[in-house]
Amino acid sequence: MERIVAAPAPEKPSKKERREAREARKVARESGETEELTDEQWREKARGILLRQLTASDKTAKQLKDKLLEKDCPEDIADEVIERYAEINLVDDQRFAKSWVVTRARSRGLARGAIKHELRSKGVDDELAAEALEQIDDEAEEQRARELVRAKLRPESMGADRDKALRRLVGMLGRKGYNGSMAFKVAREEWEERFRSVD
């Protein structure tokens, strides 16, 4: 009986070979030597790029368009494919904004102002951003600021200079987008509460 030997699997290109191929494609693109794709080929390529992007994480229409344009996709085809994905709910700036607000407030402790700035940079229009930011009210924002300050007020910082410590706490909150008056009020009250509990 004749023994059947499976053909060896083709070797994957090394990291170096993949990098060199990318660089060659970039040079070809810049020198205008790339082969012209038909509109249908561009649509197919754009769909593949969008699916890979959306598999990694939710994205806004602007982020996706920027990615397609970066890959030299014609703008009209980029718009067309993104619009189609929006029709079937694979691209939804409103859903993205609501999810982003919750995640950034919870994981990074960001205030509404900082989150609004991030949403704008990702192409979410101000109306959708405002609607998404309604998930956080003044009380919730202040509570999150207090949690951040409490996490920084460890026993080893108790002997620190009060004014210097308050400046650091207010600075930390400011970098996360909390307004100055709330940051100072929360830092002062939490400092005093912690010292009272130590005494």
DSSP string covering 66-99 = HHHHHTT--HHHHHHHHHHHHHTTS--HHHHHHH
pTM: 0.71
The 3-class SS string of 129-170 reads: HHHHHCCCCHHHHHHHHHHHHHHHCCHHHCCCCHHHHHHHHH
- Tell me the two tokens of residue 48: 């593949």
Query: How far does CA 17 lie from the centroid of its chain?
Result: 30
Instruction: Give pLDDT tens digits along the chain (199 positions).
Output: 555 544 444 466 677 776 676 676 566 656 655 458 888 999 999 999 999 999 989 999 999 999 999 999 999 999 999 999 999 999 999 999 999 999 999 889 999 999 999 999 999 999 999 999 999 999 999 999 999 999 888 766 555 678 888 899 999 999 999 998 999 999 999 988 887 655 4
Q: Which of 55, 82, 57, 86 is nearest to 69 (CA)?
A: 82
Write the DSSP symbol of residue 5. Answer: -
